[in-house]
């Protein structure tokens, strides 16, 4: 009896707190289904009927382009970052070289440096290299990712058996061959986790595009949804719908991969 | 021959990381320090001014310490609440009493994944003076006669920011506490329960002390992350019209100007003083370092 009561009470408590998490999303979605005038005059709680009309308004702006730009930036950042991290991780985990521990300690130290420290000079650097008319400046900072190196080193050290590498070496396998054919198959879970993290970090990035991107054709999602107010100045409903469209798809994608994502995020916190 | 050629292998694998880090990580950091010693608007020539940009940070006109104070206030108010909420939910989820654990964990984690810009905009909508959901509900319930001008007054604007940050962050602390709880040996609990300790007592005397490493990690990363606060207050207070309308920098009386926002505005917003902007970035880095160091020391001293 008391067990059942406890169960109900605990589940109910969690459910109430979860509502706190969900309400802002819910209101955002609902607001996008109403006429602009309705939003100012009454409380909207259930879905309205104006969604298609609002969708037409939003589709008239180049929302697809925002998605395309964000996808290019995030996919390229993720692929490069994962590859470069795995390479460095392989070196740290399975090779011996001079000053290895010191270099690794330095990489860990750079993890603590806030990303904004070099941003002023980075912007100047990108302008000097005349890259500001491209998406490259939004990709390059993610390639050398200290967390990625840490994560890959730990994972390769524990997941890739050294004997397998040794015997492949004796069979005359090249080091590059080892890396692609022997290491990669063992580290898919680590690749998935790191990919999700870098994808989300680069997808959510706002400050760098805000400073560097100077033409609307190159806007990414975060920049795009902040300029919705310019696109539909008087139409709040369309703005909200744009916000929903810019937020929800990725949210759903990450809900699917949240387990792997959380594993990466919490790595290292438990051991302290 | 073979071993000699093999010596290059690790360096070859390391080189992409090193090259990219030197070019787009370390170089900007070093060059930023040089920029912070100059007076430069990006167009004309650089003039070397020594430490005067850093001196300027102590001038109230730079809003540097004001912005640091604002940011610190937000961290100091929100982090404890986030941690308490996260711990309570994690403990409930980890107990055997709650059903649909995965589902609830996911829902409470969602706010953390949302693009920070969208978080600011969502709360901008919720607390809008005219069309905002919160004001409508308050008026409907008869709690206020007319909508509160939430984002127009320093105190209420800060309250909204605190609420927003708690909303966004408690799922983050929750997943860390869940990971920590999974590491607490189960037999310890069982032994204590056999000895007749109440669930609350077990939690207080066994679970909580064992979660200390996780707590320390959350505090330190929370401070580092908190000091980098930018998008949420910025979009909350400037709304979706960014760029064209005359935006209020930092909200009413700059009460919500965060340090990074201040840096952005100084170097790339209202003014293009790159030197001062870079000095703000370095000042911020020093402050973060001090807080992390003190945090780590307190944690270390405590556990000895």
Query: For A145-170, what is each residue's pLDDT tens digit?
Result: 999 999 999 999 999 999 999 999 99
Q: Where are the domains of chain B?
A: 55-303
pLDDT of residue B244: 37
Within-domain flag for A190:
yes
Q: Does residue A255 or residue B243 have the better pLDDT?
A: A255
Strands (E), chain B: 38-39, 47-48
- Per CB-CB distance under 8 Å, the chain A contacts of B27 are 118, 121, 125
CB pair distance less than 8 Å for A117 and B285 = yes
Give the residue from B8, B28, B185 with the most A CB atoms within 10 Å of its CB, the best one to mutate: B28
Q: Does residue A270 register a pLDDT over 70? A: no
Q: Does residue A45 register a pLDDT over 90? A: no
Of B176, B217, B240, nearest to A229 by CB-CB distance is: B240
Over residues A47-51, the mean pLDDT reads: 86
pLDDT of residue B267: 94
Q: Which two tokens stand for residue B198?
A: 């109440």
Within-domain flag for A104:
yes
Over residues A26-51, the mean pLDDT reads: 86
pLDDT of residue A52: 86
- Per CB-CB distance under 8 Å, the chain A contacts of B285 are 113-114, 117
- Is A18 at the interface with chain B, CB within 8 A? yes
Q: Does residue A70 register a pLDDT over 90? A: yes
What are residue B219's DSSP bridge partners?
none
Within-domain flag for A10:
no
**Reported ipTM:** 0.91
Within-domain flag for A175:
yes
CB pair distance less than 8 Å for B117 and A226 = yes
Of A7, A96, A251, nearest to B114 by CB-CB distance is: A251
CATH number at residue A89: 1.10.3720.10
Stretches where chain B sits below pLDDT 50 are 1, 242-246, 304
d(CA A267, CA B6): 32
The count of structural domains within chain A is 1
How is domain B55-303 classified at the architecture level of CATH? Orthogonal Bundle (1.10)
- Alpha helix stretches (DSSP H) within chain B: 2-6, 8-21, 27-36, 52-57, 64-94, 101-113, 116-126, 133-140, 154-182, 186-194, 199-202, 208-210, 212-227, 231-238, 259-268, 274-303
For residue A180, the enclosing domain spans 62-226
Within-domain flag for A144:
yes
Each residue's pLDDT tens digit, A227-245: 877 777 678 888 889 889 9
Within-domain flag for A28:
no
pLDDT of residue B3: 53
Q: Does residue A272 register a pLDDT over 50? A: no
Q: Does residue B193 or residue A74 have the better pLDDT?
A: A74
- Of A68-72, A83-87, A199-203, B94-98, the one with minimum mean pLDDT is B94-98
- Per CB-CB distance under 8 Å, the chain B contacts of A175 are 6, 9, 12-13
């Amino acid at each position: 009896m008391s067990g059942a009561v406890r169960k109900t009470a605990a589940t109910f408590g969690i459910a109430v707190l979860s509502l706190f998490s969900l309400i802002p999303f819910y209101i955002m979605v609902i607001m996008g289904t109403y006429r602009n005038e309705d939003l100012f005059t009454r409380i909207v709680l259930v879905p309205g009927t104006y969604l298609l009309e609002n969708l037409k308004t939003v589709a008239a702006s180049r929302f697809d382009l925002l998605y395309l730009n964000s996808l290019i930036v995030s996919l390229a950042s993720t692929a490069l970052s994962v590859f470069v991290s795995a390479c460095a991780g392989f070196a740290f985990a399975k090779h011996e070289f001079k000053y290895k521990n010191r270099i690794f300690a330095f990489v860990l130290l750079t993890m603590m440096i806030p990303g904004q420290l070099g941003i002023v000079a980075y912007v100047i650097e990108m302008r000097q290299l005349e890259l500001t008319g491209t998406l490259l400046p939004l990709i390059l900072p993610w390639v050398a990712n200290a967390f990625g190196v840490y994560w890959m080193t730990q994972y390769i050290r524990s997941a890739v058996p050294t004997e397998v590498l040794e015997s492949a070496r004796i069979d005359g396998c090249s080091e590059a061959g080892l890396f692609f054919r022997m290491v990669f198959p063992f580290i898919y879970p680590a690749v998935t986790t790191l990919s999700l993290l870098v994808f989300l970090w680069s997808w959510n990035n706002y400050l760098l595009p805000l400073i560097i991107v100077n033409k609307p054709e190159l806007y990414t999602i975060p920049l795009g949804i902040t300029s919705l107010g310019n696109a539909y100045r008087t139409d709040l409903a369309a703005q909200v719908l744009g916000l929903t469209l810019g937020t929800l798809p990725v949210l759903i994608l990450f809900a699917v991969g949240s387990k792997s994502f959380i594993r990466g995020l919490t790595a290292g916190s438990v051991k302290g | 021959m073979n071993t000699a050629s093999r010596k290059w292998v690790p360096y070859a694998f390391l080189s992409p990381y090193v090259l990219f880090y030197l070019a787009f990580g370390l170089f900007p950091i070093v060059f930023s320090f040089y920029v912070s010693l100059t007076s430069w608007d990006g167009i004309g020539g650089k003039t070397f001014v020594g430490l005067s940009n850093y001196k300027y940070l102590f001038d109230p006109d730079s809003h540097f310490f004001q912005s640091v104070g604002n940011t610190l206030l937000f961290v100091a108010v929100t982090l404890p609440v986030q941690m308490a909420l996260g711990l309570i939910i994690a403990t409930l989820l980890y107990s055997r009493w709650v059903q649909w654990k995965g589902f609830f964990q996911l829902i409470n984690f969602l706010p953390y994944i949302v693009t920070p810009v969208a978080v600011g905009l969502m709360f901008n909508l919720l607390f809008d003076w005219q069309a905002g959901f919160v004001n409508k509900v308050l008026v409907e319930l008869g709690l206020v006669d007319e909508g509160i001008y939430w984002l127009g007054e320093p105190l209420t604007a800060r309250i909204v920011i605190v609420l927003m940050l708690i909303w966004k962050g408690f799922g983050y602390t929750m997943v860390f506490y869940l990971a920590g709880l999974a590491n607490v040996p189960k037999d310890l609990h069982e032994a204590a329960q056999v000895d007749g300790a109440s669930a609350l007592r077990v939690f207080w005397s066994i679970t909580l002390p064992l979660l200390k490493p996780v707590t320390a990690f959350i505090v330190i990363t929370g401070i580092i992350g908190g000091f980098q606060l930018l998008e949420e207050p910025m979009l909350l207070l400037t709304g979706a019209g960014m760029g064209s309308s005359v935006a209020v920098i930092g909200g009413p009386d700059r009460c919500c100007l965060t340090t990074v926002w201040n840096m952005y505005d100084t170097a790339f917003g209202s003014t293009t003083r790159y030197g001062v902007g870079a000095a703000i970035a370095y000042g911020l880095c020093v402050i973060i370092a001090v807080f992390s160091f003190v945090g780590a020391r307190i944690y270390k001293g405590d556990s000895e």
